[in-house]
A and B are shown apart, each in its own frame.
Chain A
């Protein structure tokens, strides 16, 4: 007990020393920065722009400072497919527009969007409208990284299941097993019932895919910190998969419930459209819920960090850091919670579709 206290006080004094050191280093900088701003060299700090840049997709993979990995750009134009590296059109220096002259059109990046240019250098609206962007963006690349991690984890776990067959789980296996058992016993079985086994692979994949991307999204440094599960395209894809799976596993009771429910005939005018909207609205809710939760979490954390830059003083940083840590802990919970809720609702909808009615 005494030893621990001494250790803690030692650690505390160290932290204080470092903090003071950092502050003394930072403060003159602030003054310098202010000077610069007054001189008009520094661009005004735009919170909205910074935050949106962080939570939206990007054509280059930012590491730190000015260092970033260029990613391949794949465009489907009305004249054919174009493939080139993103560093051709992303300008590293401010104020200079980079234009890549491809084999079909010339391209430049407008915000996050790639537009086609005609021969005169103006935007070709017709070609831009038909342009489909299949680029390997930051989100795609980080998703692949997450998938790689998932594969590594689960191949390892699967091999340890065959290695210590019939024995108690060990190592990584004992970390993952409760999650798998949780998905099976607390998500799939109560919601789907006896037909749960067919949907287990899908539910487990969805759960761990969302979970690992949520968690990697919380890591502030490269290669984490992306916002994949907070991207509407990703949640849309997952919801569409849920929609397809639910509607392909329905039985006749499900359709009877929608088109011929046991209610007075005049209520059909209201109930049938409502039920038909329900088919779409359930996965739609899945899509919005995951997207909004994760994006909101990222926005809050980024806003709290941005406080330092908004107030333009390091003195606000203790409060900012404290809140960020608090939010990160909550986000950690949300990462699990959203993966759980998505999987749970998905199995609930599947359960509604495969349910046998006994009237």
Chain B
């Protein structure tokens, strides 16, 4: 039964050696090793997180770009539509204005024509009267030697004529 009887010497040396080993390894091995391990793991985790964040950012950027593109397209469509509308409006407006102007001009022309006609008529009347006077003078001169009596007659006659 010597096998299961612990010897005091071995217990003593084992305790002493183990505690010294624990102390030395704890101070000079485990501390730096575990520290380095943790540091490296943190670094790796951090890098992974960063990569993940970068990926997410990339994705969001692409999405943003897409959105921007879509928005720009929509805006362009809107602008084009607006422009078309404005163009149509302008054409319609122009047409309307032109028609109005035309009508106004025609009206004015008519007025002018009427005026001119009136002026021409008055002129014609004058000329006709002068001409008729001349003609009558010449006729009457031939017929009437006596100037005085003739002119009196003509004057009376002219008074009777009413112009239309």
Residue positions of A touching B, CB distance < 8 A: 52, 55-57, 74, 111-112, 132-137, 139-140, 143-144, 147, 150-151, 154-155, 157-158, 161-162, 165-166, 177, 180-181, 184, 197, 200-202, 204-205, 209, 231-234, 236-238, 240-241, 291, 295
The chain B residue sitting closest to A162, CB to CB, is B32
- Chain A: minimal CB distance from B46 (Å): 11
Tell me the dominant secondary structure on chain B's binding face: helix
Tell me the total A-B contact number using a CB cutoff of 8 A: 120
- Chain A: minimal CB distance from B29 (Å): 4
A–B complex contacts, Cβ < 8 Å, 29 sampled: A57-B7, A111-B2, A133-B8, A134-B9, A134-B12, A135-B9, A136-B13, A140-B10, A140-B14, A147-B20, A150-B25, A154-B28, A154-B29, A158-B33, A161-B37, A166-B39, A166-B40, A184-B34, A200-B30, A202-B26, A205-B22, A205-B25, A209-B18, A232-B6, A233-B6, A233-B11, A237-B15, A237-B18, A238-B18
The chain A residue sitting closest to B40, CB to CB, is A166
Q: Do residues B25 and A201 form an inter-chain contact, with CB atoms below 8 A? A: yes
CA separation between A165 and B42, bound complex, in Å?
A: 13
Q: Do residues B11 and A236 form an inter-chain contact, with CB atoms below 8 A? A: yes
**Residues of B18-63 whose CB lies within 8 A of A:** 18, 20-22, 24-26, 28-34, 36-37, 39-40, 43
CA separation between A247 and B146, bound complex, in Å?
A: 173
Instruction: Out of A197, A232, A241, name the residue touching B18 (CB < 8 Å).
Output: A241
Verify if B4 is at the interface (C-beta below 8 Å from A).
yes
Q: Number of residues in B with C-beta < 8 Å to the partner?
A: 34
- Chain A: minimal CB distance from B164 (Å): 123
CA separation between A295 and B2, bound complex, in Å?
A: 13
Most chain B CB inside 10 Å of its own CB: which residue of A111, A143, A161, A295: A161
Q: Do residues A233 and B25 form an inter-chain contact, with CB atoms below 8 A? A: no
